[in-house]
Amino acid sequence: MTVCLKGRKNEPERVGVDFEVWPEAIELGRLFAQEGYELALVGGPVRDLLLGRPSHDLDFCTSATPEQFEPILRRYGKDGFWDMGRKFGTLGALRRRDDGTEVQMEVTTYRSDVYDPDSRKPEVNYGDSLEGDLSRRDFTVNAMALRVPDLEFVDPFGGASDLHKQVLRTPVDPRQSFDDDPLRMMRAVRFVAQLGFHIAPETAEAMTDMVDRIDIVSAERVRDELTKLLLSERPRLGLEAFVESGLANIVFPEIPALQLEIDEHHRHKDVFEHTMIVVDRAVALETGPDGPVPGPDLTLRLAALVHDIGKPKTRRFEPGGKVSFHHHDAVGAKLTRKRLRALRFDHHLVDDVSELVDLHLRFHGYVDEPWTDSAVRRYVKDAGHLYHRLNRLTRADATTQNRRKAAMFAHAMDEMEARVTRLKEQEDIDAIRPDLNGDEIMAELGLQPGKMVGLARKHMLEYRLDNGPVDHETALAELHRWYDELNGGASDGQTDGASGDGGDNGNSNTNN
């Protein structure tokens, strides 16, 4: 059914949009009405309907209790039913259309929550009106409803007007709203990123004054909001609001710390501004679904955000007015791991983002002096499954305004990637292994399992990367050469070199 909404009589026009309402919503509304219950589509789906944004997850609220509407929802949700939110008054159902599209619906009894000031978890109390339920929502643009099946538009807090103005404002006093649920402050900066809206001055002021309240929110809930922000269409806008509000000082202090004071001679960039540019460029370098880095890619976007967080700790003012950030890649990798763990990110994601930060300067030497094939193999091997993301992060990080330098860098990266393609046609670089495995090394040198075997295998891997594949006899000869040199010319596997002390020395030599 097509509906057109206009401003009320004697009010300025707020929205005038023709749109098609989901037939599932109208049908479910009829079923509730037949039983004498109210049902209204609320929140994000109504907002997105007015914005013309697609949505397949429908949220409703109702005058019925879960026990009263459960039979209706079970019958209607013939393709799925769930009740994990029962204690909050929420039940869900799934309908699958003929074209295979799935529509998820969640229905919640009218709510009138009471919050404990030391917790963001509300004591759930059922309300008695739609308007009361809307008053407890986070922002006015999410506090609109559409009664079904009659399609009466309900907007007690001017959400449609705020939607037209692209502003985020709370339905009640913002201090009360954020005191009740501090996570709403994170949702505000997330909506800036998702919708491109700005935060109303009084709402922004309340956020700045109350940022400390975010401490009572679990790391997991904060992480989820930050993730949604990063995966949005405009992560930079959300990140800037995140920092401006003061939330980042508590949630992710390494990010506002990038706002380094530029030296008087402007010999280095504002690192925060540079980081925002890198985030934008990384997003632009994501690929379509069939490419190597389909967007939106959380790993790449997080790496772009944190790639320089080691700079504040490593900044040094050198003679002649120069500024250096030696080893900020390694320092940044450690800081990244610590912060992402604190935010309870998946450990695989933590490992990948930390590795990208550690490797993000690796390519720069290639621009001055192209690598040998062995160095290219080693780069690909070290990057592993992160190879395509690392290249995109490296490209995004090249923000020089010098056109000649930018062209040289782009050409060098193009050339290196072409060389990798050619090398991969000759051999599977990703699957490179030493020409001798651990069992062969132990048998040849008469060693028992231990540190020395690992050192020998590491050396043979380096030899393989440097020289490409060799025959078995050549590999054995190299193993003995290395082992004899390590042990001062001894050829017996049971020398002191096989002891723990000798292994430590070997490790040092190998790393050098």
107-119 pLDDT, tens per residue?
999 987 555 556 5
CB 347 within 8 A of CB 354: no
Average pLDDT rounded to a whole number, residues 113-138: 74
Does 242 have pLDDT greater than 90?
A: yes
Q: What is the pLDDT at residue 181? A: 93
> What are 406-451's pLDDT values in tens digits?
999 999 999 999 999 988 877 766 667 787 888 888 988 888 898 8
Q: In which band, very low, low, confident or very high, does the pLDDT at 502 lie, cut at 50, 70 and 90?
A: very low
CA angle, 419 as apex, 416 and 423 as ends, to 5°?
A: 140
Decide if pLDDT at 6 tops 50.
no
Q: Residue 23 corresponds to which tokens in the numbers above?
A: 């037939």
CA distance linking residue 358 with residue 37, whole number of Å: 58
Contacts of 319-327 with CB under 8 Å at 24 or more apart are 321/263, 321/265, 321/267, 322/267, 323/263, 323/267, 323/268
CA angle 158, 159, 161 (to 5 degrees): 70
Q: Are 143 and 162 in contact (CB under 8 A)?
A: no
Q: Is the pLDDT of residue 18 over 80?
A: no
Six-digit token string for 381: 């091997």
Residue 5 above 60 pLDDT? no
Does the structure show a pLDDT above 90 at 121?
no
Strand ranges in 21-56 using DSSP code E only, listed in sequence order? 39-42
Helix orientation angle between 472-486 and 438-445, rounded to the nearest 10 degrees: 60
Please choose, from the candidates 25, 5, 2, the residue with its C-alpha nearest in 3D space to the C-alpha of residue 153: 5
Asked if the domains 1-165 and 252-430 are classified in one and the same CATH topology, the answer is: no
Residue 211: name the closest of 167, 247, 186 by CA. Answer: 247
Of 139, 146, 184, residue with least CA distance to 165: 139
- Mean confidence (pLDDT) of the chain: 87
Q: State residue 194's pLDDT score.
A: 95
Question: Residue 240: pLDDT above 90?
Answer: yes
Percentage with pLDDT > 90 across the chain: 63
Residue 60's H or E segment, with its range, is: strand 57-62
Which band of pLDDT confidence, cut at 50, 70 and 90, is reported for residue 369?
A: confident
Which pLDDT score, from 0 to 100, does residue 124 have? 62
Q: What is the pLDDT of residue 431?
A: 66
- CB within 8 Å of 394: residues ≥ 6 apart: 360, 362, 363, 364, 413
| Contact (CB, 8 A) for 285 and 396 | yes
Which pLDDT belongs to residue 269? 60
With contact defined as beta carbons under 8 Å apart, do 169 and 203 qualify? yes
The pair of three-digit structure tokens given for residue 368, joined into one six-digit string: 């001055």
Task: Report the pLDDT averaged over residues 147-162.
Answer: 95
State mean pLDDT over 122-146: 88
Burial 2-14 (b: 16+ CB within 10 A, else e): eeebeeeeeeeeb
pLDDT average, residue stretch 173-189 = 96
Per-residue pLDDT at 490 exceeds 60: no
CATH number of 1-165: 3.30.460.10
CATH architecture of the domain 252-430 equals: Orthogonal Bundle (1.10)
Separation CA 41–CA 67 (nearest Å): 20
Report the pLDDT averaged over residues 46-63: 91
Query: Which residue in the block uniquely carries the two structure tokens 């994170």?
Result: 186
Q: Is the distance from CB of 194 to CB of 227 less than 8 angstroms? A: no
- Residue 119's pLDDT is 55
pLDDT for 62 equals: 97
* Residue of 507 and 303 predicted with greater confidence: 303
Q: What pairing do the DSSP bridges indicate for beta strands 167-168 and 198-199?
A: parallel
122-131, 244-253, 501-510: range with lowest mean pLDDT: 501-510
pLDDT reading at 215 higher than 80: yes
Look up residue 76 and give its two tokens.
Answer: 């209607």
Per domain, the residue ranges of the chain are 1-165, 252-430, 436-511
Read off φ and ψ for residue 41, nearest 5 degrees.
Answer: -75, 130
pLDDT in the model for residue 507: 36
Please calculate the CA angle 278-279-280 and round it to the nearest 5 degrees.
Answer: 90
* pLDDT score for 168: 98
Give the orientation angle of helix 298-306 with respect to helix 387-397, to 10 degrees: 40
Average pLDDT value for residue range 478-496: 69
The percent of residues in the chain predicted with pLDDT above 70, rounded, is 87
Determine the average pLDDT of the residues in 57-85.
94
In whole angstroms, what separates CA 32 from the centre of its chain?
39
